[in-house]
Amino acid sequence: MSTAAISVEKIEKTTRGTVRLDGTDWTAMSDETRLAKLHKDGFAILPSLLSGQELDDILGELADLPMNTAPYSEEQKFAAEPPQWHSQKFAEVIGSKRLTDFVKSALGDDIVFMLGMYVRSGPGVPGLALHSDYQPYGSEPKGWNESSPSTLRVLIYTEDLTLDQAPFTIVPGSHLSLHEHSNPYIRYDNHPDMVTLSPKKGDALIFNVKAFHGTHPHLGPKGRGMFEYAYRPAWAKCVGEVEEWNAADVAAAPEIAKPYLKPRNSGDPVSALGTSLDAQESQFRGIAPVLP
């Protein structure tokens, strides 16, 4: 496929829909405002979480990680095993103070790391239709893995997501919808409320898995890498059983990651039934998120 003729500035529409660039300047913003936007819109960007050197160091450690190829494109590859057990530096990000402080501001102090992934995509990858990563009733391909009612995903790209690099798409506020159109098992293309995000390499894009999101197709000549992490509050376990971490892998993980490597099936929400707390000291403000 010849891609040389495509000018990034001219990409106004793709097979996934119109490109409407989110114009937010995420650098000139407090974490408080980022958190408020995460609550209201379902996503936020923490700029420059990883430096170019840190990305290169992780990529170096991942260079010999076995990858599977997607059935729909030779150019789309997924880690065949969790990257956090292969690369100590990838695993260190799980406990990054800047990242976990922000995630805790959204989810509370007791959080569980649920997912590590590494994906590479290249020219010709068709992009992802808008979808939700919340499957409350489970599914054949995902089992119970996406059934936690409260999860944030964190995406860190290893290249700037220019418009020809399969930029990210999302429908702001879709994580809040109770409407029949927000059946999380449906996918959409050409949604008029979809916006396109174009984060820089090393930024952390954080989103509520209930939000409908996807990507435009990969039109440019350069490949892109993506590190993925997910966290949930300790109570919000998956509805059915999911695969546990291997104890030896957890034991060998960097110390900074270990507080978050609790069992994937841990959590006992129902035991709180009958509990009644006096909230007047203001320590339970998490049920009333602040919006911008």
Ligand X SMILES: O=C(O)CCC(=O)C(=O)O
Task: State yes or no: residue 203 binds ligand X (CB under 6 A).
Answer: no
Q: What is the rounded distance in angstroms from the CA atom of residue 211 to the CA atom of residue 170?
A: 7
- Shortest distance, CB of residue 261 to ligand X, whole angstroms? 20
Task: State yes or no: residue 210 binds ligand X (CB under 6 A).
Answer: no
22 versus 133: smaller Cβ distance to Fe ion: 133
41 versus 133: smaller Cβ distance to Fe ion: 133
- Shortest distance, CB of residue 145 to Fe ion, whole angstroms? 12
Q: What is the rounded distance in angstroms from the CA atom of residue 147 to the CA atom of residue 11?
A: 36
96 versus 145: smaller Cβ distance to ligand X: 145
**Distances 103 to 46, 54, 142, 171 between C-alpha atoms, Å:** 11, 20, 24, 21
Task: State yes or no: residue 159 binds ligand X (CB under 6 A).
Answer: no
With helix as H, strand as E and coil as C, how does 73-123 read? EEEEEEECCCHHHCCHHHHHHHCCHHHHHHHHHHHCCCEEEEEEEEEEECC
- Shortest distance, CB of residue 278 to ligand X, whole angstroms? 39
Q: What is the rounded distance in angstroms from the CA atom of residue 241 to the CA atom of residue 143?
A: 9
Q: What is the rounded distance in angstroms from the CA atom of residue 217 to the CA atom of residue 164?
A: 8
Q: Of Fe ion, ligand X, none, which one does residue 135 interact with (CB within 5 to 8 Å by kind)?
A: none
77 versus 86: smaller Cβ distance to ligand X: 77
Q: Of Fe ion, ligand X, none, which one does residue 86 interact with (CB within 5 to 8 Å by kind)?
A: none
Residue of the chain from 128, 154, 204, 206 that contacts ligand X (CB under 6 A): 128
Distance from chain centroid for Cα 279: 32
- Shortest distance, CB of residue 128 to ligand X, whole angstroms? 5
CA neighbours closer than 13 Å in the CB half-sphere of residue 117: 16
Using CB under 6 A, list all residues that contact ligand X.
Answer: 128, 133, 153, 155, 168, 213, 215, 226, 228
